[in-house]
Amino acid sequence: MSINPHPTLPEFDYIRPASLAEACAFLAGEPEARPFLGGTDVFVRMRDGFLAPRFLVDVKGLEGMQALRFDPKKGLTLGAAVDMNRVIASKEVQAHYPLLAEACRSVASYQLRTRATIVGNICNASPAGDTIGACLLLDAELQVHSPKGERREALAQFFLGPGKTTLKPGDIVSAIHFPIPPRGGAGRYLKLGRNRLSDLSIVGVTAFGHPLADLPSGYRFRLALASVAPVPLLVPQVEELLGKGPVTTETLQEAGRLASEACAPIDDVRGSARYRAQMVRNLSVKALTEVWEALSK
């Protein structure tokens, strides 16, 4: 790809529908239309020549999009347009979903997070999305509106490849829902970037653990990896290993090795595949050990 030294935004029509139904109908009938929230992915990709939609459909103001609701029985619902700074500042998120706040804090800068949303991060479907691992490990589901009606989609089945999801033309994600997290859980997100601000991850490791009496070890550990496969990657091998026997320094090391074996990184401008695989091992051991220490306090 040749680099354009003077990138400009291509022309487009700005559409602001009055309801979700209207927005879905417009998007379903117009293949060159695209929804947007914060626009922090869409506008950059348009400026850089990767996208040229004729219509941009602003869905931020539609019903329910700005809601942030916690119910002690049902869990947390974030309207799709809730920006990451609101998530970080929420007392309920801090109390019940601190891993989600930690993942949001790792995204770029305060300024960017006043626009960027978790749902945009997910729908962009970059394997590097920093909030996706936490959403996967917290068992998030997406509320999707389409011309045919509403449905819930488990995030675990949502990603099909880089930039590819199960969404069809006319689908709009209106909210993301998190069930009540398991009691006594602890999580950690470790991001390796080229700098501490405003860069995508070379490797991202999210770990979450909680007591579970049904398992021989007494604990369930889960691990998700960013930037090391075509889609955000769950590593069930780690869950199996750390569930079946006592958690020790050796099994945590072995878990890191399994994570490294499970990933399929590529070489790119941020790092080589070999470096990424090694950092997956190191960061997985570190994240899982920190979770284990928090659980055993």
Ligand X SMILES: Cc1cc2nc3c(=O)[nH]c(=O)nc-3n(C[C@H](O)[C@H](O)[C@H](O)COP(=O)(O)OP(=O)(O)OC[C@H]3O[C@@H](n4cnc5c(N)ncnc54)[C@H](O)[C@@H]3O)c2cc1C
User: By the criterion CB under 6 A, which residues form the site for ligand X?
Assistant: 34-42, 44, 59, 80, 107-108, 112, 115-117, 119-121, 123-124, 128-130, 167, 172-173, 198, 200
Minimum distance, C-beta of residue 95 to ligand X, in the bound complex (Å): 23
137 versus 258: smaller Cβ distance to ligand X:
137
Tell me 13's DSSP state.
E
CB of 125 to ligand X, least distance (A): 8
Q: How far is the CB of 107 from ligand X (least distance, A)?
A: 4
Q: How many helices (H) and strands (E) does the chain have?
A: 11, 14
Q: Which is nearer to ligand X, 167 or 229 (CB)?
A: 167
CB of 212 to ligand X, least distance (A): 30
- Closest separation in Å from C-beta 34 to ligand X: 4
CB-CB contact of 127 with 227 (8 Å): yes
Phi first, then psi: what are they for 56, rounded to 5°? -110, 125
Name the residue nearer to ligand X (CB basis): 117 or 289: 117
Q: What is the number of the residue whose Cβ is closest to ligand X?
A: 120
Complex with ligand X: residue 121 or 217, whichever CB lies closer: 121
Compare residues 166 and 253 and give the one whose CB is closer to ligand X.
166
User: What's the CA gap between 272 and 279, in Å, rounded?
Assistant: 11
State which residue, 55 or 275, has the beta carbon closest to ligand X: 55
For residues 85, 109, 196, 228, the Cα torsion angle rounded to the nearest 10 degrees is 70
**Three-state SS across 98-117?**
HHHHHHHHCCCCHHHHCCCE
Here the tokens at position 2 are 């040749």
**Is beta strand 55-58 parallel, antiparallel or unpaired with respect to 13-15?**
parallel
Q: How far is the CB of 106 from ligand X (least distance, A)?
A: 7
C-alpha distances in Å from residue 154, one per residue of 7, 94, 103, 173, 276: 37, 23, 19, 12, 28
